[in-house]
Amino acid sequence: MIVILDFGSQYTQLIARRVREQKVYCEILPYNASIDVIRGKHPAGVILSGGPSSAVETAGKDDVYEPHPAVFTLGVPVLGVCYGHQIMARMLGGKVKRAPRREFGLSKMTLKSAGDLFVGIEPKFDVWMSHGDEVAALPHGFKTVGATENAPLAAIANTTKRLYGLQFHPEVSHTEHGNDIINNFLFEICGEAPDWQMAGWVARATAEIKVTVGSSKVLLALSGGVDSSVAAVLLHEAIGEQLLAVFVDTGLLKAGETERIRRLFGKRLEDSLITVDASVEFFAALKGITDPEKKRKAIGKTFIEVFEREAKRYQGVGFLAQGTLYTDVIESGRAASGMAHVIKTHHNVGGLPEKLNFKLLEPFKNLFKDEVRLLGKELDIAKEVVGRHPFPGPGFAVRILGEVTRERAHIIAEADAIIDEEIRREGIYDDIWQIFPVLTGAKSVGVVGDQRSYEEVLAIRAVTSVDGMTADWYRMPPSIMANIATRIVNELPNISRVVYDISSKPPATIEWE
């Protein structure tokens, strides 16, 4: 495995992605991880990430943001990237200084000598830079391998000790040959093999889960989404009937969701699958509420009440399992250095662990989303589950503007089913990140037969996205749009008009509420 020491760069996760894409396992540790912790991982190599601090300003100060110096004498190769390159140079006797010109964006790299990090790479290529400091004098035993116009020591190496520094970011897709450089580091220099496979991961994870859990029972909130579904199947493989996978029907879910869950998981999870119809409680909790934030709170609170009640029915529950991902762990600052700004505080099922006083079991806390999808495939989970569009926890409640009633939830579920059916039939499901109807609460006049009607306007929101952080509206072929709109106004008497949302995120969000 490879250890990545995190100095707080926005690209640290990207380094981990690039390494994992090469089928090499890696973990991100805080920059100041103790040398025993690092040694204990038995890494084949260490990568020092970039970061927001300045190797010039912190020199000689208390808050030096240095890795443990023994990192450089572990006997394994070290690759420093950007700040990692500068801090390595500084610690090993080189000099860093403010660069006369800051570099952000593309620069042309010229290789001075063929080094093992650049095997098979042409002598001139584009690299992505983002720095204000630079290495000004080589540390002892190092050579210059490459330079850009503004950074004469942009690539340095001590090949005897297998220490490498790059001012640019090989992990960023704009850097030409970035993957080749990372491959060279992993395979040529660290001697890794591309053999990190899901099958091996499953065997290790199930063994670990068994030991951790012992004879306790494990409770899991099964939503039917990718993460909780894969977690349920994995846990069932590991501990069988000790798993209690509780699916709560909030009344705000897609049409036929409970039946779908039973069909997809009934056989696989056997008696571990528990379905609870709590829709009466959810609609009661939502009665009279129109404010979006209050809706979310009412749903969260009701969910916890229902779940708590279910949990009390079983003896010996010691753990609550959650499908927390590596991204969530990193974003909440739990794994990494704490130097990167906390982007969001992660609450998978808001408030549950504290309320229930169980220990947390997070089998995916070292996996990325697409790795969970791969794991789903490895565990033979239906594509219908693994390739599913994301669905928000509060369900249709955030897509029904104004008061949420059982009647309106029924209308939106019907419209959603029509959209789903049509886009699957047209073969465009996988081109879209999310698509859904929104009950706008606006009313408009229509004419049905010879009668004037005055019913609700339904909006369709369809977006493409990579991670949900930014999104563009989906350019749906007009014939498919027309078909969906016609079906909705014909089949749902409470809808007078269909409109298509053409806002991108930002500034709009994906959901309307």
450 alpha carbon, distance to own chain's centre: 52
Give the number of other Cβ atoms within 10 Å of residue 326's Cβ. 23
Instruction: Kindly tell me which of 143 and 297 has the beta carbon lying closer to ligand XMP.
Output: 297
Of 113, 173, 197, 509, the one binding ligand XMP by CB under 6 A = 509
Least Å from the CB of residue 310 to ligand XMP = 20
Tokens of 9: 């760069």
Question: How far is it, in rounded angstroms, from Cα 494 to Cα 504?
Answer: 28
Give the range of 77-85, 185-193, 490-498, 503-511 binding ligand XMP by CB under 6 A. Answer: 503-511
114 alpha carbon, distance to own chain's centre: 37
Helices in 76-128 by DSSP H: which ranges? Answer: 83-91
Of 394, 412, 462, 496, the one binding ligand XMP by CB under 6 A = 394
Of 141, 214, 266, 390, the one binding ligand XMP by CB under 6 A = 390
Active-site annotation, residues: 82, 169, 171
Give the range of 116-124, 153-161, 209-217, 385-393 binding ligand XMP by CB under 6 A. Answer: 385-393
Helices in 27-152 by DSSP H: which ranges? Answer: 35-40, 83-91
Which residues make Cβ contacts (< 8 Å) with residue 52, sequence separation at least 6? 8, 9, 83, 339, 340
Least Å from the CB of residue 469 to ligand XMP = 8
Buried b / exposed e across 287-302, counting CB within 10 Å, b at 16+? Answer: eebeeeeebbebbbeb
Least Å from the CB of residue 350 to ligand XMP = 9
Least Å from the CB of residue 383 to ligand XMP = 19
434 contacts ligand XMP (rule: CB under 6 A):
yes
Give the number of other Cβ atoms within 10 Å of residue 129's Cβ. 24
Name 276's bridge partners.
Answer: 248
Of 50, 165, 392, 437, the one binding ligand XMP by CB under 6 A = 392
* DSSP class of 358: P
Which residues make Cβ contacts (< 8 Å) with residue 211, sequence separation at least 6? none
Least Å from the CB of residue 98 to ligand XMP = 39
Site string (254-293) toward ligand XMP, x via CB under 6 A: ----------------------------------------
Site string (135-154) toward ligand XMP, x via CB under 6 A: --------------------
505 contacts ligand XMP (rule: CB under 6 A):
yes
Give the range of 28-36, 174-182, 391-399, 485-493 binding ligand XMP by CB under 6 A. Answer: 391-399
Least Å from the CB of residue 301 to ligand XMP = 14
511 contacts ligand XMP (rule: CB under 6 A):
yes
Of 393, 399, 411, 440, the one binding ligand XMP by CB under 6 A = 393
Give the range of 327-335, 354-362, 446-454, 502-510 binding ligand XMP by CB under 6 A. Answer: 502-510
Count of residues of this chain found to bind ligand XMP when the rule CB under 6 A is applied: 12
Residues in region 109-128 near ligand XMP by CB under 6 A: none
Least Å from the CB of residue 404 to ligand XMP = 14
Q: DSSP states of 11-23 as a string?
A: THHHHHHHHHHTT
Instruction: Kindly tell me which of 211 and 466 has the beta carbon lying closer to ligand XMP.
Output: 466
Residue 45 in contact with residue 192, Cβ under 8 Å? yes
The DSSP bridge pattern shows strands 317-321 and 359-361 to be parallel
Of 194, 468, 477, 493, the one binding ligand XMP by CB under 6 A = 468
351 contacts ligand XMP (rule: CB under 6 A):
no
Among residues 456, 413, 405, 407, the alpha carbon closest in space to that of 436 is found at 413
Angle, CA 8 vertex, CA 188 and CA 151 arms, to 5°? 60
Which residues make Cβ contacts (< 8 Å) with residue 147, sequence separation at least 6? 109, 110, 112, 153, 154, 155
Q: Which residues contact ligand XMP (rule: CB under 6 A)?
A: 296, 390, 392-394, 398, 434, 468, 505, 509-511
